[in-house]
Amino acid sequence: MVLLRQLLGDVLRRLRVRQARTLREVSTLARVSLGYLSEVERGQKEASSELLASICGALGVPLSQVLREVSDQFALAELQHAPVLADAPEHERLPIAETVSTTISGPEFDGFPEVKDMVAA
């Protein structure tokens, strides 16, 4: 099972490394201990929303961008584990787009094309 805190830590670490910044530098700017930031990046600690905002501020990246990247990674992880659901009863394995499209109405809603693209790839 993929844990949200692990994906979040991976995204934060990737952003920091891409900027060629040290844990010490980011922890100082974010006003969080070096050890705690390290644990967050390794997916060992759940960061509060306030702490995430502080880390994102130190990295100069909007929190929404980080959460979007985490969401994309989570969607991919779910798709990779989809075959496990093949043994589930049919009513439990309806595609998300079909399930949601019955609750969201309007001509502008066309399911989730980005997820369809990932499945097609």
68 domain residue, yes or no = yes
Q: How many domains does the chain have?
A: 1
**How far is the CA of 17 from the CAs of 10, 38, 109, in angstroms?**
10, 13, 38
86 domain residue, yes or no = no
89 domain residue, yes or no = no
Chain mean pLDDT for the chain: 78
**In which band, very low, low, confident or very high, does the pLDDT at 105 lie, cut at 50, 70 and 90?**
very low
95 domain residue, yes or no = no
State yes or no: pLDDT of 2 exceeds 90. Answer: no
State yes or no: pLDDT of 48 exceeds 90. Answer: yes
118 domain residue, yes or no = no
CATH number at residue 10: 1.10.260.40
Among residues 106, 103, 104, 100, which one has the least CA distance to residue 115? 100
Where helices occur in 1-121 by DSSP H, the ranges are 4-18, 23-30, 34-41, 49-59, 63-80, 96-101, 113-120
16 domain residue, yes or no = yes
For the purposes of burial, counting CB atoms within 10 Å of the CB of 102, is it exposed (0-12), middle (13-18) or buried (19 or more)?
exposed
Query: In which domain, by residue range, is 29 found?
Result: 4-81
pLDDT in tens, 62-82: 999 999 999 999 898 888 875
29 domain residue, yes or no = yes
